[in-house]
Amino acid sequence: MAMTDLPLPEFLASLGKTELKPGGTYATGALIRLLDLRGGDHALVCGPNAGSTALFVSMTTQATTEALVRTESEKVTEGDPSLKRRSTARIGKAEELPFPEGHFHAAMVEASLSYMHPLEQRAALKELHRVLKPGGRIGIHELCWRQPPTAELEGALLDVWRGPVAPMVVRGWWDKLEEAGFRGLQNELAVVSFFTRTGLQADEEAEGTAQIFHNAFADPAKLARFSAAYREFTDNRRYYGVVIARGEK
């Protein structure tokens, strides 16, 4: 598969982008605060670069963490016993979590559910509910629609994304969480940071941002793909957003 045919997050990674979650570092920080993680908590972390995110969560909140990862290479603490005491990782998928019932105080899920088929979303949320202790908290950071999209807009998103993507309006995410058994829901909205100047500077810093643009301009096909995605998310920014939500078991 050509680099320009990859799903949008993987295509951006091929240009050198390291932050592949739609709300970027801002949304990750907001989600950590919304979950109110602290010492004594044991938390599950799912999403792109989950191993690194889990370690960051442990270092900033004093909670212990377990990351759900896809490959051995994503287990960032495996070779360091001192780090592994705070943060570990297991290979698996959200629809079939490799953890026992009632194992976690909290679950932090980023850029995962919105890239699943609706049936997989339902299965993953049921699994997340299962592995939380009574009163446990779930937090999600996912792509969403700020307002109901037109059929043309849904088609345009699929054209620029080129992979599985199934965002919902905020009420749709609430319905999914409630269906899985979560209550006490609350949320905030953020912008999609993939292409905003503020988002790029916060997520990649000046040097990383310059490298992304350099890699895009170096190849006409990559530049065309990047430009099309930029235009879509910029021209229709009143539709595209990020939901940061919390619920309790």
Domains of the chain, earliest start first = 3-248 (3.40.50.150)
pLDDT confidence band for 149 (50 / 70 / 90):
very high
- pLDDT confidence of residue 1: 63
pLDDT at 143 over 90: yes
Kind of pairing between the strands at 104-110 and 87-91: unpaired
Integer Rg of the chain from CA? 18
Asked if 185 and 178 touch (Cβ cutoff 8 Å), the reply is yes
Number of neighbours of residue 98 by Cβ within 10 angstroms: 11
pLDDT at 172 over 70: yes
pLDDT at 2 over 90: no
- Over residues 103-111, the mean pLDDT reads 98
pTM: 0.94
Rounded to whole angstroms, the Cα distance separating 136 from 140 reads 14
- Over residues 5-16, the mean pLDDT reads 95
Mean pLDDT for all residues in the chain: 95
